[in-house]
Amino acid sequence: MRFFDPKRGEYLLTPEERDQVNQEQRRAIQDLDRALEAAQARIRELERQRRPEG
């Protein structure tokens, strides 16, 4: 049995589906965090390469 939200016109997620969505969101956030860290490291490296030595 599933509950329907007539205002939104859709069925509500089951607890298991909510857990899965939350887990997928956590994984996506972790992936984005890793990508951001890698991009920031690359920017720092490129900035070091651009600086005149002295």
Q: What pLDDT does 54 receive?
A: 56
Q: How many domains does the chain have?
A: 1
Beta strands in 1-54, from DSSP E residues, in sequence order: 4-5, 10-11
Residue 19: inside a domain:
yes
Find the domain containing 40 and state its range.
Answer: 14-50
Identify whether 25 is part of a domain: yes
Tens place of pLDDT for every residue, the chain, 54 residues? Answer: 899 999 999 999 999 999 999 999 999 999 999 999 999 999 999 999 998 775
- In a domain, residue 24? The reply is yes
pTM of the predicted model as reported, rounded to 2 decimal places: 0.71
Task: Give the C-alpha separation, 7 to 5, whole Å.
Answer: 6
4 found inside a domain = no
In a domain, 20, yes or no: yes
Contacts with 14 (C-beta within 8 Å, 6 or more apart), sequence order: 2
pLDDT at 53: 74
Name the DSSP class of 5. E
Alpha-carbon gap, residue 51 to 14, rounded angstroms: 55
Q: Which residues have a Cβ under 8 Å from the Cβ of 5 and sit 6 or more positions away?
A: 11, 12
Q: Let me know if residue 7 belongs to a domain.
A: no
